Structure 1
Amino acid sequence: MLDIPVFIDRSSYESQPLGRTEWIKLYGAMLDKEEEAANFFANQASVVENLKDFQNTEKTVAFFYINTSGAAVVRNPEDYISNMIELGGARNAFRDLQDDSGKTSVPITMEQFYDTAEDADYLIYNASIDSTVKTLDDLLAKDSMFADYKAVKEGNVWTTEKSMYQATDKIAQFTNDINLLVTGGDPDQMVFLRKLS
């Protein structure tokens, strides 16, 4: 109505992390910065490429948050976060989740979450959506049953940085974070993950 051109960014619907990052090439074309965008993409692609021959550890990661209704929200097994977990050398605990909604986030009951994530090697709380979990006590306040989870008992509960979704310029680094996580690497080298205590 106002004759203002509008562009809709659908990068968050990509199934592969580099698919999301590759949108930089579109912005490069829009801003006459194609060479810079191509170089930037190649740099990010090398982060993932460096892990291509890494044998999966088979350790499981449950990536989630608890919504205001008290449901656990996990990632669709086909989306880019789930794929980054796999590329980083772990298994998405919810890789067998059946969801045909096409949405990137899937709410499930806490009972469903418990059935799958209780024995997960690592829990990663998605603070990009819900930043209220800053300590293990905060997580236990969401649901006291978390005390029974293997990852909680073993001290393997992590949270993302709040800006993770906005940091599309370095989202491929999350793959490296997962690799550091499951191989006992230096947490100071992580970009998006922080251990809860």
Structure 2
Amino acid sequence: MKRIFIDCVFFILLALLCSCESRSGVGAGTDNFKADSIYYARGFEIARFDDCTLVTLRNPWDTLKTLKRYVLVERDKPLPDSLPEGEIIRTPVEKAVFYTTVHSSMVAQFGCIDAIKGICEVQYVTDSLILERIADGRIADIGLATAPNTEKIIDLNTEVIIASPFENSGYGAAEKIGIPIVEAADYMERHPLGRTEWGRFYGLLFGEGERADSIFFATSERYNNLKELAAKSTYRPRVLLERKYGASWIIPAGDSYIGTIHADAGADYVFREVEGNHNVYLPFEVVLDKAYDVDLWLFKYNTNHEFTYEILKDEYMPYSNFRPFKERNIYICHTTRTGYYDDITLHPDRLLEDLIFIYHPELLPSGYIPRYYVPMK
């Protein structure tokens, strides 16, 4: 009920703002607009006018506030004399720099790989076509996402930067070079399909709105069919996720997209009562006390070596106190070798299927081959 109320208030304010701008001359000629239906995402709204498309991003840390507004205008048409308030982006974008491989992979899957001119932290790229272009110089290495090479960004004649925002932080020197920064806050969505739906916005940026819509609706249908399949099982194994990092164990909150997808796969996530859509950091002793007797333990990693029970025990001896360690019920996912992060945004249905195979293998056809998680040896 709260979600419906917030959505209604936000949309009414959006409509009033746009119409007021039109009457004042700021957005003349844009009184009539059509809002796209948004099904899972909470972070953005799309309003289509005769001569532009307005995309309004909600602040994920305060959803009654606006994070950013983008006015998309087709590049082959004259710029209208008056437009709604917002940062103007000519579409389709032809030269973009990406701070994360998640978003560059999405755009490549829309068939827009030619628009990818630079990527930060290229060591995390798994897409073979993108890797090929990095190797031959068609896609530039922009350095760290926290300290990108702004000179190189300028030299590439970049039209748009795609970056993930964080609370109370900015983009440093990149904010001063006059290039629009698209704040890709999809990772803050609570529902896996909410992240997928952000692809509809990115598709509009790169002139592939119809293809992005097609991927979203196909993924949504398959995801929900798999969710219904998992619901047929009355057994829900108790599950622990991730492992200790430094002094703390990083725990996904129960309402995060990770918590949601494990619940949809038919698992009883042991920290489901942790509120919010973010990660929390807990001492090892708290996790052990809560989860020592769970049925299964899943974690992701990105190291040069394969994890084994022996290596896990050598990393931290107390891990061996968990029941899944003793009974050899740990599943692991190497995020780079499997392309986990490249897939999870546009194709959460694939991860859901993997998890159903782990939790309820009897529900899937025999011979199913997991994409991401495998039993630890």
- For Structure 1 versus Structure 2, the TM-score category normalised by the shorter chain is 0.7 to 0.9
Q: Which segment drifts farther, 80-89 or 118-127? A: 118-127
Question: Are the counterparts in 2 of residues 181 and 187 from structure 1 also a CA contact under 8 Å?
Answer: no
Match of 1:123 among 293, 297, 302: 297
- Asked if structure 1 preserves the Cα contact closer than 8 Å seen for 2:240 and 2:291, the reply is yes
> For residues 125-156 of structure 1, what are the alpha-carbon distances to aligned partners after superposition, in whole Å with 9 as ceiling and x for unaligned?
1215x676611122212322222212112221
1:85 and 1:65 map into 2 onto residues whose CA distance is 16
Preserved contact between residue 125 and residue 159 of structure 1 (Cα < 8 Å): yes
Deviations 1:96-126 (A, max 9, x none): 23x5xx5622111110110122111111112
CA separation of 1:133/1:144 partners in 2, compared to 1, >3 Å: closer, same or farther? Answer: farther
Unaligned runs of 5+ in 1: none
Q: Residue 136 of structure 1 corresponds to which residue in structure 2?
A: 309
> Cα distance, 1:62 vs. partner?
0.9
Match of 2:238 in 1: 60
Supply the distance in 1 between the matched residues of 2:321 and 2:346 (Cα, whole angstroms).
37
Q: Which has the higher contact order (CA 8 A, sep 6+)?
A: 1
Q: Which residue is equivalent to 2:166?
A: none
Aligned length: 192
Q: Aligned pair in 2 of structure 1 residues 149, 188: CA closer, same or farther (>3 Å)?
A: same
Q: CA RMSD in A?
A: 2.1
- Output the TM-score relative to the length of structure 1: 0.87
Please name the residue that 1:192 is paired with: 372
CA distance in 1, matches of 2:306, 2:196: 28
**Residues 138/112 of structure 1: CA separation in 2 closer, same or farther (3 Å cut):** same
102-111 vs 74-83, greater mean Cα deviation: 102-111
The 1-side partners of 2:222 and 2:235 are apart by 18
Deviations 1:135-191 (A, max 9, x none): 112221232222221211222101123142332232332111111101135685222
Q: Residues of 1 paired with 2:327 and 2:282: CA distance?
A: 24
Structure 1 residues 103 and 82: CA distance shift in structure 2, 3 A = closer
- Taking a change above 3 Å as real, the CA distance of residues 189 and 172 of structure 1, as seen in their structure-2 partners, is same
Point out the structure with the larger strand share: 2
- Match for residue 194 of structure 2 among 10, 19, 30: 19
Are the structure 2 counterparts of residues 176 and 138 from structure 1 closer, same or farther at C-alpha, using a change threshold of 3 Å? same
**Matches of 2:214 and 2:236 in 1, distance apart?**
33
Does residue 175 (structure 1) correspond to residue 352 (structure 2)? The answer is: yes
Query: What is the TM-score of this pair, normalised by structure 2?
Result: 0.47
Contact 2:253 2:259 in 1 (8 A): yes
Instruction: Spell out the pairing of 1:102-121 with structure 2 (5 A cutoff).
Output: 104-121=278-295
User: Is 1:156–2:329 an aligned residue pair?
Assistant: yes
Larger Cα-atom Rg? 2
Structure 2: 5+ residue stretches without partners: 1-175
Q: Distance in 1 between matches of 2:220 and 2:347?
A: 10
Aligned in 2, Cα 1:174/1:93: closer, same or farther, shift over 3 Å? same
> Following the alignment from structure 2 to structure 1, what is the Cα–Cα distance between the partners of residues 282 and 210?
43
